[in-house]
Structure formats: C-alpha cells, structure tokens
C-alpha cells in the first residue's frame, strides 16, 4: 500500500506554471508522469479558437500524457473568482457558452471528468437565487458530461482561502451532488474530494472518506499548512489515500500543490510509481 499503490496525475495549472501551457505536458512526462489535469486554461474566454484547442490536444498527445480532469470555465482562476455556475448575469452566460466547448474538448482527448466550480456568493443577491441558478446550470453540465461519457465533479473549497464560496464542507458538496443526480436521473455527478481543502476546514478526514468514498469521483491532495508537496506539512496523506483505496476508490489522485521547482518536488514519490500505465 502507500503512495506507490496510487494513480497520480499532475495538475498543470498549479505545477510547471513557469512554462507556457503547451510545454507543461512534456515537462510532466519528463518527470515520469503520464496523467495530467487542468483548470480551464483560457481564463479570458469560455470559447477559445479551435486552433488553440487543437494545439493543447497536440501538446498532450505529443507528450504521451492523458488528460484525466478538466475544469469548466471558472472565471479568473487563479484570481478572485471561484467558478461561474451560481453567478448571475455575464458569468453564468459564459459558463453556458463553455459547457459544450469543454465537453467536446474532453471527448477529443479521452478525458472522463469535468469539474464545475460553484462560484462565490454575490453581494446583494439572494443565496437561494444563486443556488437555483447553480442547479439549473449544473443539470445542463451533467447532461453534457454524460453525452461524452464523463462525470461531473462538484468541489468543496476552504473558508480561510475562499471566504465567499458557499461549499466549504464535505456535506455541503455532497448535498449539491445529490440534488444534481436527483434532477437529471443520470447519476454522473460526483464529489471532488480535496484533502487539503477539507483539512483547512478542520474536517475529520477519515470520517469524510468513510462516509463519502462511494460518491467520490476524483481526489486531490496537498499538504497542510502551505499547500505544499506531501511531507512538507502535517497531513498523514499516505494513510488517508490507503483508507480511500480500502473504501473502494480506484480513481486518480491529482497533485494540486504549490512548488517553486515542480520537477524537484516529486522526490516523495519513487520514479517508478509515477506512470499509471
């Protein structure tokens, strides 16, 4: 058991960011990884030109890397935004414009998981109105994901770093997952279990895993405090991932941590354990 028993992928929106986007898949491959994930890479637009989509597809393929997770358009991320699903007006419109673009791109590269960040609370807007809009948008996104054989991920963040984001506990995220599945009847909405965010919320990680492993579609990790690589903080990540595996989770574990030198930050994971194939 332990780290060598997991399937890891590298989040190319937080690691190797000193490189241009199209050079990051090759950098991950050079470090020994063949699976990667991304936040929506085109922060300024939900509908990039086809040539840009094609270039990213080629970069992934040329590097021999499999994209295993992709965010839908989420506003300025990194930045002040935390998604667009529940944000009325232009942002909700941008999210809707992005749904089929993201789903079709995922299909073109064999990516089976699409993450929809909920969005911050907006001053002066009734939270119930935002939640109603979010459910409506997530239903459309879940159907688009299903059309391309993918799951829809719902992620909880942490209150200290995302004070305006309403989903800051595992139960809050699971509630949205259940509502979307009830509304669509598809059952393809799943929980994105991020051990770092849950730890920052002071949740009981073992209890969360025990309760919600069956509804979990993707896992992400970073150590606490500092959001660094495993071993830089206090979290027993190896034990927690073992617990997840014993609970039946067999999916990918996204490395979503910060490192000044990404290539040097993987020393905690033996080189032979980095490829999933």
**Catalytic machinery residues:** 155, 256
50-83 b/e with 16+ CB inside 10 Å = b?
eeebeebeebbeebebbbbbbbbbbbebeeebbb
Q: What are 188's two structure tokens?
A: 């393809």
Alpha-carbon distance of 115 to 153, in angstroms, equals 4
Torsion (CA) 64, 253, 201, 122 in degrees, nearest 10? 40
Contact 95, 84 (CB under 8 A): yes
Alpha-carbon distance of 175 to 207, in angstroms, equals 16
Q: How far is CA 118 from CA 85, 88, 141, 167, in A?
A: 5, 12, 12, 8
Contact 120, 87 (CB under 8 A): yes
Nearest in space to 108 (alpha carbons), one of 57, 38, 50? 57
Torsion (CA) 30, 32, 37, 40 in degrees, nearest 10? -10
DSSP reduced 3-state for 8: strand
């Amino acid at each position: 058991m332990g780290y060598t028993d997991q399937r890891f992928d590298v989040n190319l929106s937080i690691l190797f960011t000193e490189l241009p986007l199209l050079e990051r898949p090759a950098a991950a491959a050079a470090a020994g990884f063949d699976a990667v994930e991304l936040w929506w890479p085109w922060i300024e637009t939900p509908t990039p030109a086809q040539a840009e989509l094609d270039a990213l597809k080629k970069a992934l393929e040329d590097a021999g890397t499999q994209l295993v997770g992709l965010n839908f358009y989420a506003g300025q991320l990194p930045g002040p935004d935390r998604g667009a699903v529940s944000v009325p007006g232009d942002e909700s419109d941008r999210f809707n414009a992005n749904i089929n673009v993201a789903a079709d791109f995922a299909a073109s590269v064999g990516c089976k998981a699409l993450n929809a960040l909920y969005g911050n609370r907006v001053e002066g807007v009734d939270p119930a109105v935002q939640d109603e809009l979010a459910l409506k948008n997530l239903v459309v996104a879940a159907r688009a994901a299903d059309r391309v054989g993918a799951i829809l991920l719902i992620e909880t963040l942490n209150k200290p770093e995302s004070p305006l984001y309403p989903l800051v506990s595992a139960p809050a995220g699971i509630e949205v997952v259940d509502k979307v599945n009830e509304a669509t009847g598809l059952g393809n909405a799943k929980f994105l279990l991020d051990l770092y965010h849950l730890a920052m919320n002071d949740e009981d990680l073992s209890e969360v895993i025990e309760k919600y492993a069956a509804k979990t579609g993707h896992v992400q990790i970073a150590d606490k405090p500092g959001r660094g690589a495993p071993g830089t903080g206090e979290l027993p990540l190896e034990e927690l991932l073992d617990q997840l595996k014993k609970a039946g989770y067999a999916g990918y574990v996204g490395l979503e941590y910060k490192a000044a030198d990404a290539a040097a930050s993987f020393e905690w994971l033996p080189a032979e354990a980095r490829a999933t194939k």
